[in-house]
């Protein structure tokens, strides 16, 4: 495992030091710095803010003659680092060093404070030599401001008639950002840089679409299947790069979508489905760092099993590796699910499922947390917060689609999941509630909505709406609020499938528990909606399934505006819809907006879903007629 700090669950924020040190434009400077230090030894390291250890994890100090390591914090004295015991900075005058490395950014003030402690004749080198160019910085005075490192990775492929398209919007403009730009660095599967470029964004909520076919043509590239690094510059409000990722093909049966990668590499990921007997599951690993992932580091194991199978080959810096799950875990079969041992080496990975009928789909797995413990207060939330945590997902029309749920343990301490499933029609009428009992961690119970309804003698014709996974303690069990599930949708007509996964929240109650109901802006409770819906191009239609979950009874109907924008962020028209509480709305842009309105919007238009009365949860997708569809959860801002 990389011993670096990537994200704090306590503060809910990311750590910018590892991003600053691992940025693609920093890597070459860091290697040059190492060579300088080798030639300038002996070197004493002054580490006032514990950044030296992150540098060591990513690049190492091998070959450098270390004359001592010095610290500022009294509590850090006596620690072992690079084989030596750390000393107080007051002892640095006795160091037999020709060079002092100040392992910190924004170092001038730090240097001024210790200049009298520097041995005679020694030069001073700081991490400021690794800084990005000034035009990359939103806050030029505070280098490690998280807004300076609004970065992310995306799976990016252009090969054998398979294409990818990344779509996002300048949502930072809504927080007052000016002159927002995106910088891109494209890596091939070996980690080699194929292209770097910059895209300016408009002053409004301008949309931007990065299409692999267009990028290949523009930069005259060979086919590739690699990773796209994205850096948002001059941002405000959010240090997160959110996007929708569509995969499509020359063949219209190739269509799928997934979500942003989650910018902070984690220890573990979970919710990776094992293949059916006629399927192949490919796990795409994108190394997020300028150092290799060592052999026997990335591992897979069945959920609930300690038997880990490791990848025996290393993965090069910034390289992408396609792993055939069946080759590593030949006995794993759906509905079993797998954990991924990641060691903080990569952001949330994608997986791709290939069916025997030639269809395929792509989705992401989720961060499995290791810091959670069962929360004894959750069983008592029903007194004030009704259903409490809710995990909502669509039920597509059962006349045509199979809608399947698979609860997925998403914390290492979740030994059991005490759950129930509630099935609602589109009008918010509860059709069925079934207790699932206390599901053991090692159990994988897929829930077919049609089969459950048939079991209880319910008619299927004309039924669609949504399902909710909620905690149910009638058989005992523990809960921590980190409830997740995978949702799979199968079109019986075309043979195409789509799937998505997400976690539970508390919805639409004025009471607050910890940080729930979450808000896109400000503090909880989050009782409003601002969702981004990218629209398809050409003949593709765009579908959206909006769900109005409520932990406690809320407004009888939503007041939801569907606002159509062109790619420049110009509002064209607005339509009002009402969704019943605990109900849902399945709609297509072709049904809501006229042909003239859609033509005016053009390609790469988008819809902003806005509601100030309640918090909605949404799923979006595209359709290629009756041949293929995609579906994934939406993002808001």
CATH number for the domain spanning 549: value is: 2.60.290.11
> Does a structural domain hold residue 630?
yes
Residues 121 and 149 placed together within one structural domain of the fold: no
* Three-state SS annotation for 174-217: HHCCCCCEEEEEEECCCCCEEEEEEEECCCCCCEEEEEHHHHHH
Among 340, 364, 388, residue at a domain's last position: 364
DSSP per position, 324-372: EHHHH-TT--TT-EEEEE-TT-BSSPEEEEEETTS-EEEEE-EEEBSS-
Q: What would the pLDDT profile of 549-591 be if each residue is shown by its tens digit?
A: 999 999 999 999 999 999 999 999 999 999 999 999 999 999 9
Report the alpha-carbon angle 269-533-150, nearest 5. 55
Residue 13 has what pLDDT? 64
Residues 239 and 200 placed together within one structural domain of the fold: yes
Kindly report the average pLDDT of the chain as a whole number: 95
How many domains does the chain fold into? 3
Residues 179 and 75 placed together within one structural domain of the fold: no
> Does a structural domain hold residue 186?
yes
Residues 410 and 268 placed together within one structural domain of the fold: no
Residue 12 has what pLDDT? 59
Q: Which residues fall within 8 angstroms of residue 4, CB to CB, at 6 or more apart?
A: 15, 18, 53, 54, 57, 58, 344
Give the C-alpha separation, 82 to 62, whole Å.
9
Residues 115 and 90 placed together within one structural domain of the fold: yes
Q: Which residues fall within 8 angstroms of residue 156, CB to CB, at 6 or more apart?
A: 164, 166, 186, 212, 224, 225, 226, 227, 228
Residue 204 has what pLDDT? 83
Residue 203 has what pLDDT? 82
Residues 165 and 85 placed together within one structural domain of the fold: no
Range of the domain at 615: 378-636
Give the C-alpha separation, 610 to 544, whole Å.
14
> Does a structural domain hold residue 136?
no
Give the C-alpha separation, 550 to 546, whole Å.
13
Question: What DSSP state is assigned to residue 580?
Answer: B
Q: What is the pTM of this model?
A: 0.95
Residues 503 and 570 placed together within one structural domain of the fold: yes
190 forms bridges with which residues in the sheet? none
Low-confidence ranges of the chain (pLDDT < 50): none
Q: Which residues fall within 8 angstroms of residue 345, CB to CB, at 6 or more apart?
A: 2, 265, 287, 288, 289, 293, 297, 298, 315
> Does a structural domain hold residue 341?
yes
Residues 469 and 598 placed together within one structural domain of the fold: yes
Report the alpha-carbon angle 272-433-556, nearest 5. 105
Residue 538 has what pLDDT? 87
147, 187, 222: which is closest to 27 by C-alpha? 187
Cβ-contact 307, 440 below 8 angstroms: no
Among 339, 364, 389, residue at a domain's last position: 364
> Does a structural domain hold residue 135?
no
> Does a structural domain hold residue 515?
yes
Q: What are phi and psi of 502, to 5 degrees?
A: -160, 180
Residue 628, CA atoms < 13 Å, CB-side half-sphere: 23
Residues 386 and 311 placed together within one structural domain of the fold: no
Q: Which residues fall within 8 angstroms of residue 451, CB to CB, at 6 or more apart?
A: none
Give the C-alpha separation, 498 to 508, whole Å.
28
> Does a structural domain hold residue 383?
yes
Q: Are strands 560-565 and 606-611 parallel, antiparallel or unpaired?
A: antiparallel
598, 606, 602, 601: which is closest to 635 by C-alpha? 606
Residue 461 has what pLDDT? 82
Residue 159 has what pLDDT? 96
Residues 358 and 499 placed together within one structural domain of the fold: no
394, 396, 361, 395: which is closest to 246 by C-alpha? 361
> Does a structural domain hold residue 139?
no
Long-range interactions of 359-362: CB distance < 8 A, separation 24+: 359/253, 359/254, 359/494, 359/495, 359/496, 359/497, 359/628, 360/254, 360/256, 361/256, 361/496, 361/497, 361/498, 361/499, 361/630, 362/155, 362/245, 362/247, 362/256, 362/257, 362/258
Residue 8 has what pLDDT? 65
Residues 294 and 429 placed together within one structural domain of the fold: no
Among 97, 130, 163, residue at a domain's last position: 130
Give the C-alpha separation, 315 to 297, whole Å.
10
Residues 172 and 243 placed together within one structural domain of the fold: yes
């Amino acid at each position: 495992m990389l011993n670096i700090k990537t994200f704090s669950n306590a503060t809910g924020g990311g750590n910018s030091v590892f991003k600053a040190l691992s940025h693609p434009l920093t890597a070459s400077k860091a290697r040059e710095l190492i060579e300088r230090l080798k030639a300038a030894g002996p070197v004493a390291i002054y580490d006032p803010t514990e950044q030296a250890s992150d540098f060591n994890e990513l690049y190492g100090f091998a070959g450098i003659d270390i004359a001592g390591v010095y610290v500022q914090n009294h509590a850090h004295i006596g620690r072992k680092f690079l084989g030596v015991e750390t000393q107080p900075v007051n002892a640095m005058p006795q160091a037999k060093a020709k060079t002092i490395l100040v392992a910190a950014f924004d170092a001038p003030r730090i240097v001024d404070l210790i200049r009298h402690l520097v041995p005679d004749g020694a030069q001073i080198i700081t991490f400021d030599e690794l800084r990005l160019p000034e035009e990359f910085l939103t806050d030029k005075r505070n280098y490690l401001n998280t807004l300076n490192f609004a970065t992310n990775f995306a799976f990016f492929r252009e090969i054998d008639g398979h294409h990818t398209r990344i779509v996002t919007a300048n949502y930072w403009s809504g927080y007052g950002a000016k002159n927002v730009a995106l910088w891109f660095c494209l890596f091939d599967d070996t980690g080699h840089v194929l292209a770097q470029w910059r895209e300016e964004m408009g002053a409004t909520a301008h949309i931007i679409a990065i299409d692999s076919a267009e990028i290949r043509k523009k930069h005259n590239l060979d086919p590739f299947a690699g990773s796209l690094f994205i850096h948002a510059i001059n941002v405000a409000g959010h240090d997160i790069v959110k996007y929708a990722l569509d995969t499509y093909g020359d063949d219209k049966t190739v269509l799928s979508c997934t979500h942003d990668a989650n910018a902070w590499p984690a220890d573990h990921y979970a919710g990776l489905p094992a293949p059916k007997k006629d399927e192949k599951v490919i796990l795409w690993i994108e190394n997020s760092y300028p150092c290799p992932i060592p052999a026997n580091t990335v591992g897979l194991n069945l959920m609930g099993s300690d038997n880990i199978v490791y990848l025996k080959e290393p993965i090069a810096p910034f390289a992408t590796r396609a792993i055939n799950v069946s080759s590593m875990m030949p006995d794993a079969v759906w509905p079993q699910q797998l954990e991924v041992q990641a060691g903080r080496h990569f952001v949330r990975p994608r997986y791709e499922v290939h069916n025997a009928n030639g269809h395929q789909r792509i989705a992401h797995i989720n961060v499995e947390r290791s810091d959670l413990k069962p929360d004894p207060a959750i069983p008592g939330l029903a007194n004030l917060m009704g259903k409490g945590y809710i995990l909502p997902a669509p039920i597509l029309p059962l006349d045509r689609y199979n809608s399947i749920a698979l609860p997925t343990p998403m914390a290492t301490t979740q030994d059991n999941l005490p759950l129930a499933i509630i099935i609602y029609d589109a009008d918010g009428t509860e059709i069925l509630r079934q207790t699932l009992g206390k599901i053991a961690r090692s159990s994988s119970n897929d829930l077919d909505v049609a089969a459950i309804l048939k079991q209880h003698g319910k008619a299927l014709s004309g039924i669609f709406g949504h399902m909710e996974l909620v905690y149910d303690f009638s058989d005992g069990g523990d809960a921590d609020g980190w409830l997740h599930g995978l949702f799979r949708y199968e079109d019986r007509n075309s043979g195409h499938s789509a799937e998505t996964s997400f976690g539970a929240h508390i919805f639409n109650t004025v009471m607050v528990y910890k940080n729930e109901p979450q808000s896109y802006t400000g503090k909880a409770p989050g009782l409003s909606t601002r969702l981004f819906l990218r629209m398809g191009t050409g003949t593709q239609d765009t579908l959206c399934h909006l769900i109005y979950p409520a932990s406690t009874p809320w407004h009888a109907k939503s007041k939801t505006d569907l606002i159509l924008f062109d790619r420049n962020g110009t509002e064209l028209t607005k339509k009002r819809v009402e969704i019943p509480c605990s109900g849902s709305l399945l709609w297509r842009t072709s049904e809501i907006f006229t042909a003239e309105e859609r033509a005016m919007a053009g390609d790469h238009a988008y819809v902003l879903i806005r509601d100030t009365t309640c918090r909605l949860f949404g799923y979006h997708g595209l359709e290629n007629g009756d041949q293929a569809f995609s579906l994934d959860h939406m993002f808001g801002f």
